[in-house]
Amino acid sequence: MGRPARGFSLLELAVVAVVLSTLSAVLLQRLNYYQEAAERAHFETTLLIYKTALQIRLAEMILDRRENEARRLEDENPTLWLSEKPTNYAGDYPQTPIVGNWYYDKSSLELVYVANTAYGLEVAERDGVKQLRFRVQVIRQPVSITGGQVQGIGGIKLISTTAYHWS
């Protein structure tokens, strides 16, 4: 009687290779999903910080009775209003933007986020990358005063200038 065969057969090794490659593919897909979810959360948090800073800046102007200067906010870089710049703020919009960074485009007066791992982001590409662009808008509303109406400040918002959907 001979010795029993030791080791794995070629079929068993092939089955293990298929199982490992399938698990690796699933793991990489989930990793991409979580990277994009983290980027989206960071983007939304930073955008909320900008919006809050904008509202605080307008409130300061109203309290100082400088409502007539509110229009200037539409022409300023919103990053100047923050006590700390976001860690991924890279300054003025360059010729070739780097993904994952915020910029300010002086020519269009827009705050720009250049997406990095944006597989679920539906937006028109610009300069070969997916960009989300925002502009400050002062909301004016008529205010009744003795003898008529004047245009007053109704609020302020950071509006998207590019249509996008991030799923």
Kindly report, residue by residue over 8-47, the tens digit of the pLDDT.
788 888 998 999 999 988 888 888 899 999 999 999 999 9
The C-alpha atoms of residue 59 and residue 110 are separated, in whole angstroms, by: 22
Express each pLDDT in 121-137 by its tens digit: 999 898 889 999 999 99
Question: Domain residues of the chain, as ranges?
Answer: 11-166
Exposure class string for 132-147: b at 16+ Cβ within 10 A, else e: bbbbbebeeeeeeeee
What's the Cα-to-Cα distance from 153 to each of 80, 139, 140, 142, rounded to whole Å? Answer: 21, 6, 5, 8
Residues 6+ away with beta carbon under 8 Å from 5: none
Segments of 65-128 assigned E as strands: 89-92, 102-105, 110-114, 121-122, 125-126
Neighbours of 161 (CB within 10 A): 14
Express each pLDDT in 98-119 by its tens digit: 999 999 999 999 999 999 988 8
Residue 29 three-state SS: helix
